[in-house]
Amino acid sequence: MNTELCTPSTPGRATIPAQPNVDFSAIKQRQQATWASGNYAIIGTTLQIVGENLAEAMDLRAGERVLDVAAGNGNATLAAARRFARVTSTDYVSGLLESGAERARANGLDIRFQVADAENLPFADGAFDAALSTFGVMFTPQQARAAQELMRVVRNGGRIGLASWTPEGFIGDLFLLIAAYVPPPAGLQSPMLWGTEPRIVELFGPESSEIRCERRHYTFRYESPAHWIEVFRKFYGPTHKVYAALDPDHQASLSRDISELLERRNLGGKDSLVVPSEYLEVVIRRK
């Protein structure tokens, strides 16, 4: 795991590429339904360590105004609040925010929860000292727009923290496999681009004074490949929806392919499943 300084690009502003044939409204509705399906909170809670690591990498301080974007059920939200920041947690799936609010109450944390679209955040320019997102904003259909919104709501000198799966990691391979069964909408860029240093520099470099990137690993720990498939088929929106779209024969084929992928990456031996999945941790300093 090496931390490196990702060199910001030349002065300017990240542009939103013209994609006239892409119906982003319809795609967003489809994505929202996907993440609302299953019960992502069951999966999300297991990723808590990623939010804690990101909060430390960002050096969050007590009293800072922090925005969690595409927060899911609140891993990064809770991590920031545990450091006594003043946190606003946002997502476009209200049910996930309700799960986050339950966790906040159980932990005795005072957090504001608000439904919001990562591509159109309902906050003033410079309203926050820091913004962060763990495996959330990377799935927005209009990547440049989401990046601009993150930059816009953070004050000059503030920070943005991101955790995004890489194309080379286990989740990157999983999404490639899923796409072979149910292709994503035409015209969309891969969400795994957020897990690459060049794309981060392209999106954030023009308005940043520093970008630090570190490739880290989150480890999935389950009883077996069959156990992992059972949990993700039931609770994780993307796999839940893909299985629902397939007939029984293709469901069985998908399970075999995922099982083989898990076995190839398993470090736990024959009696358990231990699968590291690479992600890119990024801390951006706004000019």
Helix (H, G, I), strand (E, B) or coil at 45: helix
pLDDT digits (tens, 9 = 90+) for 86-135: 999 999 999 999 999 999 999 999 999 999 999 999 999 999 999 999 99
**What are the extents of the domains in the chain?**
23-167+184-220+278-286
Overall fold of domain 23-167+184-220+278-286: Rossmann fold (3.40.50)
Find out whether 82 and 66 touch, Cβ atoms under 8 Å: no
The pLDDT assigned to 31 comes to 87
Percent of the chain scored above 90 by pLDDT? 86
Q: Which residues pair with 280 in a beta bridge?
A: 164, 215
pLDDT digits (tens, 9 = 90+) for 177-221: 999 999 998 888 999 999 999 999 999 999 999 999 999 999 999
The pLDDT assigned to 28 comes to 85
How far is CA 238 from each of CA 51, 56, 78, 174, 245, rounded to the nearest angstrom? 21, 29, 24, 10, 11
The pLDDT assigned to 18 comes to 45
Q: Is the pLDDT of residue 58 over 50?
A: yes
| pLDDT band at residue 67 under the 50/70/90 scheme | very high
Q: Which residues pair with 283 in a beta bridge?
A: 161, 212
Find out whether 39 and 111 touch, Cβ atoms under 8 Å: no
DSSP 8-class letter at 37 = S
128-134: strand order across its sheet = 3-5, 208-222, 273-286, 154-165, 128-134, 65-68, 86-91, 112-115
